[in-house]
Structure 1
């Protein structure tokens, strides 16, 4: 008897994904009157529960807390001020999770709420704790329901939308696939409302969409848009995770590997959680200005940053904090974990490791940023 054939195409392999992160936006969960669209929520849960019944792991990253709250509070639109937004989220989050809990319970599936702030990803200890919590929930057969903790997040330290959060969570749990559910059926080669605009079915590399015109969200309830979704896609695919972007109503087809939405192929290899944290999540506490020789050494990818190549220190930080490494013009070339406090480094500037050992003693001849704790910034930007 012949063995059943497995579709080896990139899309065909999606149905075999053992661990999937599904992200759904506010606009897909909210009715026109501003209230939570319970029918849409239950439709999503039915599909995820079916996947769960196959023995697969699913993490749900959901927006909708603020959107669910402003209808019951009698607000006509998304709150503009932070305090009202936080209060609305506090009301809406309870309504949102209650609906998810009831809907999953109908399938005999338990859920666990995980509320994260950007602080939980910019601090390594918090990042590790989030990873352990998610892994344990999955081990226990629970579907984690992840959302940004809008009730306590501040304007200065927040994700601002759940697209980026979904990409970081996907890497955190070593997902095999990320699905972004939104109110359009994929990425178009121009604004979807423009006559003649066509859906892009597959993206193999960033060069495939360099010509695409994208805009921010026009939704009354969401904060993201195609720009944030493509940023999320870039993080995931560069980390070895393929992505499907499609309508919320197409989630079953996306999981089955059907030709729905836009498929984004992997562009990089899976990296360590530490490196992803450094590159995308960590908040730099300061900057080290490098001379041209040190820049070349760092960009070579095999050298640690030594004191001799540093010309200036900016900011206040402690040993083991993330810092930016910038060239003489101020352009960021790398990020890394520093081995000294900011108050210690000025005394080390321009000195060789041998000189430091002779003058200051053992321990001061170590690298300022070891290459194992350093990641290059792919597209340098001028740091403010």
Structure 2
């Protein structure tokens, strides 16, 4: 963990924009920035993950959340970013600090070099006591290339800067064991295994793109990075200090102790599935017991179209996800190698690979039980042999 105290704060659109007028809620913003100023004075580095640009820009392009298409939302984001950042800058100056904006795409989080470049930018801003405000670059992302929710993106940033706390402020006071409207719903104050409550997490807000499911997914990602997650209601006065001081109720998802290396945390905590492989059961059992590598003789099917350097999800024949790792070959190359396990790489591909295994041991992590699994991919399945 970083020796510096660090917090990532995620704010949803419904807290920043009035649902009807689609205008800024300045009272909430003032309370938020006042708390951030106090945290900075206590020695904390703070990153703000802020939604709201699309919602605030819809009036400018003459659309509503209900009738806005993708191009409308991209245009609205371009308009709303100006309104949002100008408001943040003005309020931050009232409390004596500066802000900077970092717009990212999923590639900035999933591709290692760009991930490190983003981290270095944030670190330099910290050096100058400037608070980064991070958001997905909604002006350029398409449905296929976007993260889709700022909850998990905030968890990736928490992982990136080795934060102590991820605070997710939302329109509800925390997690319940069933829909909060149920008369016998029980509030959950503390949890370690978020998978116990995935079945009660459906639904999103009118303005937001994530519901309680994405918050629990984000919490699980943060747990593996050694970061506690707090899910709480975004009130106007002391929205951060009141939960950090345990003055009002909230749900706390507890970190899993000392995290793995930064490399392994990055490998295993993904925002998007690039592709996957299924191993024969004997090889899968050996992998779980003794680790990698994964060779092309171990594979019985390949899913999706991926490139060398992508992170793959690895399953056994019972559709249980057992590992994640960085592939040394594209999907077409992996399929060709797996169909001819007796042949050499140079013979099949026309070149000698520096790392002949599909996934090398150093680039592979066997998942622990407390990792949230991904659904088994069902599209673009390519079997290694027609007999399987």
Question: If the TM-score is normalised by the length of the shorter chain, which range does it land in?
Answer: 0.7 to 0.9
Q: Does residue 383 of structure 1 match 2:377?
A: yes
What CA deviation, in whole Å up to 9, does each residue of 1:93-118 have, x standing for no partner?
Answer: 11000000111111221111011111
Check whether the contact 2:61–2:75 (CA below 8 A) recurs between aligned residues.
no
Q: Which residue of 1 aligns with 2:310?
A: 321
Q: How does 1:129-208 map to 2 (within 5 A)?
A: 129-206=117-194
Say whether the 8 Å CA contact 1:331–1:383 is kept in structure 2.
Answer: no
Partner of 1:297: 286
SS in 1 for 2:201: coil
Map of 1:102 onto structure 2 = 90
Secondary structure at the counterpart of residue 240 of structure 2: helix
- Shift, 1:369, TM fit: 0.9
Contact kept? 2:8, 2:165, Cα under 8 Å: yes
Among 234, 242, 248, which residue is 2:228 paired with?
242
Pair 1:20 & 2:1 matched: no
Distance 1:264 1:59 in 2: 19
Deviation at 1:364, TM superposition (A): 7.1
In structure 1, the gaps of 5 or more residues are 1-15
Give the drift of 1:302.
2.1
Q: What is the 5 A alignment of 1:9-158?
A: 18-32=5-19, 33-77=21-65, 79-158=67-146
Partner SS for 1:281 = coil
User: Paired residue for 1:368, among 358, 364, 380?
Assistant: 358
Structure 1 residue 305 displacement after superposition: 1.1
- What's the TM-score once normalised by structure 2's chain length? 0.84
Q: Secondary structure at the match of 2:32?
A: helix
Q: How far apart are the structure 1 equivalents of 2:213 and 2:175?
A: 11
Instruction: Specify the SS of the correspondent of 1:240.
Output: coil
How many Å apart are 1:192 and its aligned residue? 2.1
Q: CA RMSD in A?
A: 2.9
Change in Cα spacing, 1:318 to 1:232, as seen in structure 2 (3 Å) is: closer
TM-score by length of 1: 0.85
The question of whether the paired residues in 1 share the 8 Å contact of 2:274 and 2:306 is answered with yes
Paired with 2:144 and 2:61, the residues of 1 have a C-alpha distance of: 26
Where in structure 2 are there 5+ consecutive unaligned residues? 379-388
> How far apart are the structure 1 equivalents of 2:213 and 2:271?
21
Cα distance in 2 for partners of 1:301, 1:257 equals 43
The residue aligned with 1:3 is none
Q: How many residues align?
A: 365
Distance in 2 separating the partners of 1:141 and 1:84: 36
For the structure 1 residues 39 and 50, does the alpha-carbon distance in structure 2 shift closer, same or farther, using more than 3 Å as the test? same
CA distance in 1, matches of 2:284, 2:192: 31
> Please, which moves more after superposition, 305-314 or 113-122?
305-314
